[in-house]
Amino acid sequence: MAFLEVKNIFKRFGKTEVLKGIDFSMEKGEVLAIIGSSGSGKTTLLRCLNFLESPDLGSIVLEGEELFNAEQKYSDREIREKRLHFGLVFQSFNLFPQYTVLKNVCLAPELMRIDQSEKKLSRAEKIQIRKEIEENARQILASVGLSDKLMNYPCELSGGQQQRVAIARALAMKPVILCFDEPTSALDPELTGEVLKVIRELKSSDRTMIIVTHEMGFARSAADKVIFMADGVIEEYGTPDEVFGNPKSEKTISFLEKSLENITG
Amino acid sequence: MSFLEVTAQLADGFLTTLMIFGITLVGALPLGLLITLGSMSKVKPIKWVFKTFVWIIRGTPLMLQIILVFFGPGLIFGAKALPRLVAVIIAFIINYACYFSEIYRGGIESIPKGQYEAGQVLGMTKTQIFFKVVLFQVIKRIVPPMGNEIITLVKDTSLARVIAVVELVKAAETIVALKSIIWPLFYVGAFYLLFSGILSVLLNLAEKKLNYYQG
Ligand SMILES: Nc1ncnc2c1ncn2[C@@H]1O[C@H](COP(=O)(O)OP(=O)(O)OP(=O)(O)O)[C@@H](O)[C@H]1O
Ligand SMILES: [Mg+2]
> Does residue B164 lie in a domain region?
yes
Domain extent at residue B30: 3-209
Residues A221-248 have a mean pLDDT of: 92
Residues B51-58 have a mean pLDDT of: 95
pLDDT tens for each residue of A131-188: 999 999 999 999 999 999 999 999 999 999 999 999 999 999 999 999 999 999 888 8
Please tell me whether residue A190 adopts helix, strand or coil conformation: helix
Q: Cβ < 6 Å from ligand 1: which residues?
A: A 13, 16, 18, 36, 38-44
**Which residue is closest to A172 within chain B, CA to CA?**
B122
pLDDT tens for each residue of A186-228: 888 888 899 999 999 999 989 999 999 998 999 999 999 999 9
Residues of A in contact with B117 (CB under 8 A): 52, 90, 94
> Does residue B172 lie in a domain region?
yes
Cα A154 to Cα A163: distance, rounded to the nearest angstrom: 10
Distance B190 CA to ligand 2 centre (A): 59
Q: One-letter amino acid identity for A51?
A: F
- A42 CA: nearest ligand 1 atom: 21
The residue contributing the CA closest to ligand 1 atom 13 is A39
- A46 CA: nearest ligand 1 atom: 18
Q: Extract the runs of DSSP E, i.e. beta strands, from chain B.
A: none
Percent of chain A residues past pLDDT 90, beyond the cut: 75
Is B213 in Cβ contact with A97 (below 8 Å)? yes
Domains and CATH numbers, chain A: 4-264 (3.40.50.300)
What is the pLDDT confidence band of residue A264, given thresholds at 50, 70 and 90?
A: low
> Pairing relation of β-strands A57-62 and A65-69?
antiparallel
Q: Which residues lie below 8 Å from residue B23, measured CB to CB, with a gap of 6+?
A: B89, B92, B93
pLDDT at residue number B102: 95
For the purposes of burial, counting CB atoms within 10 Å of the CB of A11, is it exposed (0-12), middle (13-18) or buried (19 or more)?
buried
Could you say which ligand is closest to the alpha carbon of residue A214? Answer: 1
Is A173 in Cβ contact with B122 (below 8 Å)? yes
Q: Which of A74, A14, A22 is nearest to A229 (CA)?
A: A22
Q: Is the pLDDT of residue A265 over 70?
A: no
Is A96 in Cβ contact with B133 (below 8 Å)? yes
pLDDT at residue number B3: 79
The residue contributing the CA closest to ligand 1 atom 9 is A44
> Does residue B214 lie in a domain region?
no
Residues B178-197 have a mean pLDDT of: 89
- A41 CA: nearest ligand 1 atom: 18
Is B125 in Cβ contact with A80 (below 8 Å)? yes
Q: How many domains does chain B have?
A: 1
**Which residue is closest to B112 within chain A, CA to CA?**
A94
The residue contributing the CA closest to ligand 1 atom 25 is A38
Facing A94 at nearest CB: one of B114, B136, B212: B114
Cα A11 to Cα A14: distance, rounded to the nearest angstrom: 10
> Does residue B181 lie in a domain region?
yes
Whether residue A220 contacts residue A28, with contact meaning beta carbons closer than 8 Å, is answered with: no
Could you tell me the CATH number of the domain that includes residue B23? 1.10.3720.10
> Does residue B215 lie in a domain region?
no
Residues B134-147 have a mean pLDDT of: 93
Facing B132 at nearest CB: one of A76, A83, A111: A111
pLDDT tens for each residue of A59-81: 999 999 999 998 889 999 999 99
